[in-house]
Amino acid sequence: MDINNEWNNIAKTRLLDRIEGNDLSYNEIFLPIIINKINSYDNVADILDFGCGTGELTFEISKQNFNVTGIDISENSIDIAKAFFKRSNLLFLNKSLSSLSYRSSFDLVVANMSLMDTKEISSNIIQIFDALKPKGKLLVIITHPCFWPIYWDYFSDDNFKYLEESAITQDYKTRNKVFKGFKTTHFHRPISFYVNLFVSANFNILNMQELGGLTDTVWYPRFLYFELGK
């Protein structure tokens, strides 16, 4: 399992799918909730997009006239982001957060669909906390631990146990398409894991929402949103 290489392989295909408007979860859920929440804050200037991928959301945030830094360990994703999305207030870095000296540097951090893809989540949360200025905010969207196993059809696997962390590798898919041959890995962790992780890192949980799209055809919410305060 090489998560970095998985995202390198799918980077271009994933960008084109979003540019063509096919990723309905991004269009209906991720983009509006993140942009609306960011614009609801006062005194936000500097934003970090943690695990920015190919930079579509990072670019949209920068269009709101914030100073935005997007980081990702996928070299191909960052190369594509730099090539496609250019603004004077936008910076993309092919770096891990642990390799950067960002202490009390950001008013807000966005972790959209990235925390469940990182093995080092505990250290990442501490690094994000340290990178935030006093009273900074962290916005998190992850796959819903209760319902994603149903959506990706691994809830009945013999080795799957809801309360245990497990690595799940399958063909990448959005709501409209399965990308055969492009494997991606995420880590299933129960909701209690995330709540305890955030609290132990000294975050305050300000809001939690279960998210679904306006045109979803399933009865359950597929994503979970947290708003956290330092």
Q: What is the pLDDT of residue 1?
A: 66
Q: How many CB atoms lie within 10 A of CB 98?
A: 10
Q: Is the pLDDT of residue 192 over 80?
A: yes
Q: What is the pLDDT of residue 36?
A: 98
Q: What is the pLDDT of residue 72?
A: 97
pTM score, whole prediction: 0.95
What's the angle, vertex CA 68, arms to CA 33 and CA 65, rounded to 5? 75
Q: Is the pLDDT of residue 116 over 80?
A: yes
How much helix, strand and coil, in percent to the nearest 5, is found in the chain? 35, 30, 35
Angle subtended by helix axes 75-84 and 3-19, to nearest 10? 30
Q: What is the pLDDT of residue 175?
A: 72
pLDDT, mean of residues 190-206: 98
Q: What is the pLDDT of residue 78?
A: 98
Q: Is the pLDDT of residue 176 over 90?
A: no
65 torsion bin: left (phi>0), alpha (psi -120 to 50), beta (else): left
Q: How many CB atoms lie within 10 A of CB 184?
A: 18
Q: Is the pLDDT of residue 165 over 80?
A: yes
Q: Is the pLDDT of residue 219 over 70?
A: yes
Average the pLDDT over each of 24-38, 79-93, 163-177, 200-214 and give the range with the smallest value: 163-177
Q: What is the pLDDT of residue 174?
A: 76
205 three-class SS: strand
E-assigned strand segments in the chain: 46-50, 67-71, 90-93, 106-112, 132-143, 166-173, 178-188, 204-211, 223-229
- The pLDDT confidence band at residue 94, using thresholds 50, 70 and 90, is very high
Q: What domains does the chain contain, in order, with CATH numbers?
A: 3-144+189-229 (3.40.50.150)
229, amino acid identity: G
- Contacts with 62 (C-beta within 8 Å, 6 or more apart), sequence order: 68, 85, 87, 89, 90
56 to 86, 179, 196, 199: CA distances (angstroms):
11, 19, 30, 30
- The pLDDT confidence band at residue 205, using thresholds 50, 70 and 90, is very high
Residue scoring higher pLDDT (37 or 9)? 37
pLDDT, mean of residues 142-170: 93
Q: Mean pLDDT over all residues of the chain?
A: 94
Residue 200 near residue 194 (C-beta atoms within 8 A):
no
Question: Looking at the DSSP assignment, which residues form a beta bridge with residue 91?
Answer: 69
pLDDT, mean of residues 4-12: 90
Q: What is the pLDDT of residue 126?
A: 97
